[in-house]
Amino acid sequence: MTSTANSERIFQAARQLMPGGVNSPVRAWGAVGGSPRVIAQGKGARVYDVDGNSYLDYMASWGPLILGHAYPQVVAAVSRAAALGASFGAPTPGEVELAQVLLGAVPGLEMVRLVSSGTEACMSALRLARGATGRDRVIKFDGCYHGHADSFLVAAGSGVLTHAIPGSPGVPQPIADLTLSLPYNDLDAVRRAFKDHSGEFAAVMVEPVAGNMGVVPPQPGFLEGLRQICTESGTLLILDEVITGFRVGWGGAQALYGIKPDLTCLGKIVGGGLPLAAYGGRRDLMSQMAPEGPIYQAGTLSGNPVAVAAGLATLAALEQPGVYEDLEEKGAWLENELTRAAAKAKVPVTLNRVGSMMTLFFTAGPVTNLEEAKKSDLKRFSRFFQGMLAEGIYLPPSQFEAFFISLAHTPKDLEFTAAAARRVLAL
Ligand code: KE4
C-alpha cells in the first residue's frame, strides 16, 4: 500500500472550504475514523485515489454504478450528449425515450416525472400524496432514509443514523410532528397507528428493501400488509426504490415482490451516476402535477439531456439477458464466502442480502429492523472496514449502509475479496 499523503493534504484543504470537507456527510468517514481517500478515477470495478492506490469498489457511489465505473457505452453516450449542449430547459427527445423505458420496466409507473436527486423525487411524491388526498400525515420507518427533505429527517437512516443525528435542527417541530416513524417490518405498529389516526395519513413511504440501516429485507407479508392497509384507508403507498430500482431486478423490488404501489421514487442507477432521479405512478395521481394539475414541482435541470443519456445507456446495458442472474450468482457466492469466513474466525455476524446489495452486520442477529441493526459492534465494523481498505477493498464507511456488487466485478475480484475478508476477520 503506497502512502495516502495526497489524500490527506487535499482533504485537509477541503475541510477549510466545505463543511466537514465533504459535499455529503457520510463521505467524511465519521463512523470509521481516518482520512477519507480522495478519489481521482474509477474504471470498471476499481477506483483509484490521488496517491495512486487502487481499490476494488463496493461503494458504487452509494449504488448508481451497477455497471462499474466509466462503462464505455455510458461514457460515449454522455460525450455525445454533452457535445450537443448541456441543458436547454426545454423538452428533449431523450427524456421522452427514458420515460418510455421507465414505464415499460416498472409495473407501478403509468406516468413519470424526471428530477435531479432522490431527495427531490421523494419530497415531490409526498407533496403529491398530500395534495391528492388532502391529508398531511405520513408514516415512514425507523432506519429508512428518503433524502433530506424536512418531513423525512425523523428517525432517518443513512448519514442521520451514522452520525447519530437525532433528526436535524432546522426542521420545524410542526413539520416533524406530521411524520410518524415506526419500526420496519412491524405491521402491528402500522395497524395501531391507523386505528389511532384513521383517515389522517396521506401516505406510507417505505424502502421495499431497506438499505439505509444496512440491508434489511421485508419480512414475508410486510409489504403485502402495507398495501392492504393503505388500500383500505385511502392512504397512498409510496415505494422508495431509489436504491432498489433496477438494482434488485429490472422492475425493481415492486416486481420482485409483486407489490403495486400508488407512487414510486427512483434514483441512483436510473441516472447512471449522473444527477437524475424520478417519481411516478398512477396516471390519476401524476396528472395532478403542474402544469396538467395544480400541485407544483419544478426544476431547472430536471430531465437534463446529459444525465438522461447516461441513464439510457445504463438501462440499455441492464436490459440485456442474464444481467440479474449474473448479479444474483455473484451476490450469493460472496455471501457464502463472507459467512463462512466469519464462522471460521468465530466472529458473530449477520449477512443480509437481496441480489447484489448486502450488509455484513457485526451482530449475531437476526437483523430485521433498526433496533436490531443498532446492536452491531461498531468498533468491530470499523476494524473490518480499515482492514479491508488496507487489503485494497473499498467498502461503504458505515455499518448502516449497503455494499454493492457491479457487473464489472469478476470471479477473480470476488475471490480476492473473500481471501481478504478471511485474513481481516481472523485478525
Ligand atoms: P439523494 O438525494 O441522495 O440522491 O437520494 C436520497 C435517497 C432517497 N431514498 C433512498 C432509499 C436513498 O438511499 C437515498 C440516498 N442514499 C444515501 C446512501 N444510502 C446517499 C448517500 C449520501 O447521502 O451521500
Kindly report the CATH number assigned to the domain that includes residue 86. Answer: 3.40.640.10
Q: Is 268 a catalytic residue?
A: yes
The SS3 call for residue 287 is coil
**Is the domain of 60 the same as that of 78?**
no
Boundary residue ending a domain (265, 295, 318): 318
Q: Are 195 and 382 in contact (CB under 8 A)?
A: no
Phi, psi of 2 (to 5 degrees): -75, -175
Instruction: Please identify, among 270, 290, 318, the residue that sits at the C-terminal boundary of a domain.
Output: 318
**Are residues 220 and 306 part of one domain?**
yes
DSSP secondary structure string for all residues of 71-130: -HHHHHHHHHHHHT-S--SS--HHHHHHHHHHHHH-TT-SEEEEESSHHHHHHHHHHHHH
Read off the pLDDT of residues 172-212 as tens digits, 9 standing for 90 and up. 888 999 999 999 999 999 999 999 998 999 999 999 999 99
Domain of 403, CATH number, reads 3.90.1150.10
Q: Which residue has the cell 414510486?
A: 264
Domain count for the chain, please give it: 2
- Do 92 and 234 fall into the same domain? yes
pLDDT in tens, 7-38: 999 999 999 999 999 999 999 999 999 999 99
CB of 274 closer than 6 angstroms to any ligand 1 atom: no
Is residue 241 within 8 Å of residue 266, measured between CB atoms? yes
Question: 71, 145, 257, 324: which is the annotated catalytic residue?
Answer: 145
Question: Are both 173 and 298 inside the same structural domain?
Answer: yes
In this structure, are 295 and 247 located in the same domain? yes
Q: Is the CB of 218 under 6 A from ligand 1?
A: no
Identify whether residues 194 and 230 lie together within a single domain: yes
82 and 162 in a single domain? The answer is yes
Q: Which atom of ligand 1 is nearest to the CA of 25?
A: 24
- Name, in order, each residue with C-beta under 8 angstroms of 292's C-beta and a sequence gap of 6 or more: none
Residue 212 in contact with ligand 1 by CB distance below 6 A:
yes
Cβ of 147 less than 6 Å from ligand 1:
yes
Which residue range(s) make up the domain with 129? 72-318
Ligand 1: residue whose CA is nearest its atom 5 = 118
pLDDT tens sequence for the chain (427 residues): 579 999 999 999 999 999 999 999 999 999 999 999 999 999 999 999 999 999 999 999 999 999 999 999 999 999 999 999 999 999 999 999 999 999 999 999 999 999 999 999 999 999 999 999 999 999 999 999 999 999 999 877 777 766 655 578 999 888 999 999 999 999 999 999 999 998 999 999 999 999 999 999 999 999 999 999 999 999 999 999 999 999 999 999 999 999 999 999 999 999 999 999 999 999 999 999 999 999 999 999 999 999 999 999 999 999 999 999 999 999 999 999 999 999 999 999 999 999 999 999 999 999 999 999 999 999 999 999 999 999 999 999 999 999 999 999 999 999 999 999 999 999 8
Spell 186-207 as b/e; 16+ CB within 10 A means b.
bbebbeebbeeeeebbbbbbbb
Q: Residue 130 Cα, ligand 1 centroid: separation in angstroms?
A: 22
Q: What is the DSSP string of 149-181?
A: -GGG-SS--HHHHHTT--S-TTS-HHHHTTEEE
Residues 262, 361 within the same domain? no
pLDDT tens string 53-67: 999 999 999 999 999
Domain-terminating residue out of 288, 318, 348: 318
Same domain, 180 and 245: yes
Q: Is 243 in the pocket of ligand 1 (CB under 6 A)?
A: yes
Q: Is 158 in the pocket of ligand 1 (CB under 6 A)?
A: yes
The question of whether 240 is a catalytic residue gets the answer yes
Ligand 1 atom index nearest CA of 207: 11
Asked whether residue 391 falls in the same domain as residue 269, the answer is: no
Q: Are residues 181 and 228 in the same domain?
A: yes
Same domain, 36 and 97: no
Q: Can you give the length of the chain in residues?
A: 427
